[in-house]
Amino acid sequence: MKLFDVYPLYDICPVKGLGSYVWDEKGTKYLDFYGGHAVISIGHSHPHYISKIAEQLNAIAFYSNSILNPLQNELAELLGEISGCQDYHLFLCNSGAEANENALKMASFENGRKKIIAFKKAFHGRTSAAVNVTDSKGIQAPINSTFEVVYLPLNDFDALDNAFLDNDIAAVIIEGIQGIGGIHIPEVAFLQKISSLCQASNTILILDEIQSGYGRSGSFFAFQKSGIQPDIISMAKGMGNGFPIGGILLHPRFKAKHGLLGTTFGGSHLACAAGIAVLEVIRDEQLMENAAASGQLLINELKNSALPGVVEVRGEGLMIGIEFDYNTAALRKKLLMENHIFTGSSSDPNTIRLLPSLSVGENEIDQLLDGFKSVLYSAPQSVPV
């Protein structure tokens, strides 16, 4: 049997990780400025994380959600304390797509509607409802189109006002920062306008913080800089530092009813142990503060370096996009194969995403900048075009 061919693969096989670095089977050391799609939030192989999971594995790894699991309550309380969202209720699942699937379902349950406002360049997952609100027709099968979606340009106030002339909108779903779309940030006033329109029309506001959450922007959630209060917040990626876990935070307006939501593996003992460890490290090592400071340093250095071909550097915290005036596939490959630095692509072929661990520091930033300079100031024939 062979694996189904999903992604084009680089000929690199990481076998060990520590902090912001991974090593392949040949012993080659790589700087990780991608974090496996923004998943590695506290760094590879953090000792507290390993200890917490090992301790839980030696106790009990899994049992069904039909029995008490105090770790779920511990995770919920710690998440509320650190995020500032104490009033919300937590539903645990396994992934970001599943989180958004349940968020959309709860929105429709709440107001009985089935039309959704989403945004151009958005990515919300590959499950049926989540992919239907993802602006990528190539990954939408005919069976996915089970409800109407209106795609608006990000930060277009007039288009937003016009869309709300329809009184049958179930929900607006928007990323705290668009990730796969190439790092595009909703304006504070735009988020505030969405929130106001949703409140006035009993429309559910879903903030997708799957990539932008858990401290990556310098705030726990990126939307918090706008002062709004979403109805539902979806989370995953950095939530488990590599262990599969996702969740949604539900505003108290949603009343629990047995049977509306459910999951077999979501909120398992091991998943909760991983989630608790991540939150403890973020709190104890002040990683949100580090993300804000290191991110601003990196953005400033990238802007001041005047790297050839750079059109724009944008982002918040350690969620950064570098847009070039050419397709960056060759540049990313040279950074990886010659300078041993992992970076990320986006749906915009000209934009590189940087999503390192929240613990990244000046030494790693200097190494990244040296790598860019090494490639971009090399012999003209080797510069990507």
CB atoms within 10 A of CB 152: 20
- Residue 164 sits at φ, ψ, to 5 deg, of -85, 0
Write the DSSP assignment of 274-310 as a string of letters: HHHHHHHHHHHTTHHHHHHHHHHHHHHHHHHTT-TTE
Question: If 0-12 CB within 10 Å is exposed, 13-18 middle and 19+ buried, where does residue 131 land?
Answer: buried
Q: What are phi and psi of 297, to 5 degrees?
A: -60, -45
- The answer to whether the CB of 30 falls within 8 A of the CB of 342 is yes
Q: Tell me how long the chain is.
A: 385
CA 163 to chain centre: 26
* 307, 343, 364, 371 from 381: Cα distances, Å: 17, 22, 28, 17
Residue stretches of the chain with pLDDT short of 50: 380-382, 385
Secondary structure of 17-36 in the HEC alphabet? EEECEEEECCCCEEEECCHH
Query: Which pair of tokens denotes residue 318?
Result: 């350690």
Q: Which of 168, 167, 207, 178 is nearest to 191 (CA)?
A: 207
Inter-residue contact 273 to 71 (CB < 8 Å)? yes
Global confidence as pTM: 0.96
Radius of gyration of the chain, Cα coordinates, nearest whole angstrom? 21
Task: Write the CB contacts of 135 (distance below 8 Å, at least 6 apart in sequence).
Answer: 118, 119, 120, 121, 122, 123, 151, 181
Cβ pair 368, 329 in contact under 8 A: no
Q: Which domains does the chain have, with CATH numbers?
A: 14-46+286-382 (3.90.1150.10), 47-284 (3.40.640.10)
Distance CA 80, CA 267 (A): 16
Distance CA 43, CA 260 (A): 36
State how far the alpha carbon of 326 is from the alpha carbons of 57, 86, 266, 350, in Å: 48, 45, 42, 5
- Report how far residue 350's alpha carbon sits from residue 136's, in angstroms, rounded to the nearest whole number: 17
Q: Which residues pair with 234 in a beta bridge?
A: 208, 248
What is the number of other CB atoms lying within 10 angstroms of the CB of residue 256?
A: 9
Q: What are phi and psi of 269, to 5 degrees?
A: -60, -45
Using CA atoms, how far apart are residues 219 and 207, in angstroms rounded to an integer? 14
CB 256 within 8 A of CB 250: no
pLDDT on residue 381 = 45
